[in-house]
Structure 1
């Protein structure tokens, strides 16, 4: 009855004590209760004969109080001639309020293995056995499937967003190398935000994280674009270091100011009572600070060490060369 888990309840298992059933709780089994009633007159019986099962059920219901009858009808259903279905109810040892998608799958997989084993050994009439979780807030395993779809959509969004971001940055900066540095910076920001909320807040990929994962890209592209554009505009500077200094001097303060005001606006969400909004506030603040850090430190460091000079990586220069090769432009 305690239904031990495959993982033994250790490590990251949400099941306490290695059991699916919560300590101190019992498994509600109407079939067991019917068998106990039948054993009153048949002490040596281990099962209820098929022909006597419905009569035992009717006798059990008719001798119960009205409130008990209502409870019985919630766990077993019958027509006028036979029993149609019955359920076995128990409370799991996992905390549904803090159950992540991954830990929800742990319970789902254990129950599936248990149910598959019971189905394989069950008589013909009971091989339709299945399990569900209607007590967990949000719809139980059905909601776990929804979260799976959201997570899949997150990675689909990444596969679409990053190529689009790179193309947009190429157009905005006019330089392939700057666009590459910026795209790598944005990827690091996304990984940093999702990693930070998992390490420091204990959040696995869920609804808010999946939705915000793609939104993070939009927020984090801002600062690298401004700094990259200013680096490109320093055409009269002779070296990478001087171009980087020019970009930081003319745009660094604006980036910091814009980041702080956006982070403060996200901080207002901490005043909300709904968990979704406080999560979005946390994700927004992490995104802004990591975006500033990567734009001012990583991206600018890449520009200072490997940044393009002259016409290296220039899209306009490459187009001009192609036009001249094809005879559409003036030759030198």
Structure 2
């Protein structure tokens, strides 16, 4: 229904729309893309770029156009081709009359075949008389009396030489969805490329006719909306990929840890996937506004995850070590500070050694997560809640853009907070980095590999005794 709302105004443009084949003009638009109607900006720009290689007075070119029109008439992709070909035959009969002086031979000739002059000079003279007959008009009346514009020649304003040739047919299709348009457009491209490939196989890649007509193309007014939707779809994927890459760089710079970045990108991917899935379940279809919303979801979904990730990395997990040692024993966690327990049994399997090393870091993970929740947990919740309320205020609007934006804000805030708190943090509690594992040595990279300063020993109070902890201080 959203698709049809754009095109229900004119049903004639949806059922069997016109298709225009163009030869002699390059498919290049030099008009400013943002100001197409501004005469000051576009006054010095050429509107059309002509193909200098094609010669419309060449008899071989006219014969190929005749065979191409006949082939169109035999294809089931088009309809009303006979009307176009009837006007083409009318032009041929007029050319025969201008070239042939014997009137009897004109009447005895076959009207079902297009007349092609013997040489280029005859074609030039016949075309000049043809334009004089119609007083420079590019409209030709067919034998059936149908005077609708279906064939046209574009002469040069100065030299009056023919620079372009175009003709129209109807497409044998009814456009009611993007999928139908996309499938039909691909069939058109394949059909046109097959005709050119047949000509190339006959003449060769440097063939006389092939070199002149290979730059032909087709267009339809109905393809304007199709082109918009196609670029929206392609742009959505492209923008989404670049947004994710930019988020990856930002996460690497802010967290300074490779594992935190990978876990955060996994969380963001799930957030975006769930958000888009809910949009689809709600019946949304991809359009310009929906594209903007999807691209925005990347930036909004990064926020909460980054806060938790940076707080996890910067957490001062070595404080109050003695105070929670007893609680960690109750949780069956190893504090990992007794270096005498590092004497391993060489008979242990690889899995047992990995399990023991993982358990030794559980204390640090537990304390880091507790510290990050204490420091930024409430701030993250309040930030998400205020943005959620902003979406609530926009959702009741009768304007589609405001209501969709409000629904998007509510959805993305809720899902982002949900995944950041109940997926990202539990993931860190299970396989989060400990100590400096996965850290990016920005200081060492900036010093171009210079040696760091000596290790400084500082004492941390732990109950009734002091424990020496080694901290690398980067100057």
TM-score bin, normalised by smaller chain? 0.5 to 0.7
Shift of 1:87: 1.9
2:255 paired residue number: 169
2:268 paired residue number: 186
Correspondence for 1:259 among 378, 384, 389: 384
Q: Deviations over 1:182-232 (max 9, x none)?
A: 23312332343345445654645x655655555333211221233345545
Higher relative helix content? 1
Correspondence for 1:217 among 277, 287, 298: 298
Indicate how the Cα distance of structure 1 residues 163 and 211 shifts in structure 2: closer, same or farther if over 3 A, else same: same
2:153 paired residue number: 77
Runs (5+) with no aligned partner, structure 2: 1-15, 17-75, 94-106, 118-122, 200-207, 329-362, 458-475
Q: Deviations over 1:29-60 (max 9, x none)?
A: 65323257689x88964322124996899689
Correspondence for 1:131 among 185, 205, 218: 218
Aligned residues: 291
Alignment check: 8 A CA contact 1:154 1:210 kept: no
Indicate how the Cα distance of structure 1 residues 302 and 42 shifts in structure 2: closer, same or farther if over 3 A, else same: farther
Correspondence for 1:50 among 116, 136, 155: 116
Aligned alpha-carbon RMSD (Å):
4.8
1:11 paired residue number: none
Shift of 1:250: 6.1
**What secondary structure, in the 3-state scheme, does the structure 1 residue paired with 2:218 have?**
coil
Shift of 1:116: 1.9
Tell me how far apart the structure 2 counterparts of residues 278 and 262 of structure 1 sit (CA, whole Å). Answer: 15
Runs (5+) with no aligned partner, structure 1: 3-18
**What secondary structure, in the 3-state scheme, does the structure 2 residue paired with 1:262 have?**
helix
Higher relative strand content? 2
1:99 paired residue number: 178
Alignment partner of 1:114 is 2:180: no
Alignment partner of 1:271 is 2:358: no
Alignment partner of 1:32 is 2:109: no
1:288 paired residue number: 413
Tell me how far apart the structure 1 counterparts of residues 383 and 430 of structure 2 sit (CA, whole Å). Answer: 26
2:308 paired residue number: 227
Tell me how far apart the structure 1 counterparts of residues 288 and 154 of structure 2 sit (CA, whole Å). Answer: 40
Tell me how far apart the structure 2 counterparts of residues 157 and 176 of structure 1 sit (CA, whole Å). Answer: 18
Single out whichever of 211-220 and 116-125 deviates more from structure 2. 116-125
Output the TM-score relative to the length of structure 1: 0.62
Output the TM-score relative to the length of structure 2: 0.47
**What secondary structure, in the 3-state scheme, does the structure 2 residue paired with 1:131 have?**
strand
Indicate how the Cα distance of structure 1 residues 252 and 94 shifts in structure 2: closer, same or farther if over 3 A, else same: farther
Tell me how far apart the structure 2 counterparts of residues 281 and 226 of structure 1 sit (CA, whole Å). Answer: 24
Indicate how the Cα distance of structure 1 residues 49 and 187 shifts in structure 2: closer, same or farther if over 3 A, else same: same
Tell me how far apart the structure 2 counterparts of residues 30 and 127 of structure 1 sit (CA, whole Å). Answer: 25
Q: Deviations over 1:229-270 (max 9, x none)?
A: 554546246634465456446644543443233134245167
Shift of 1:92: 6.4
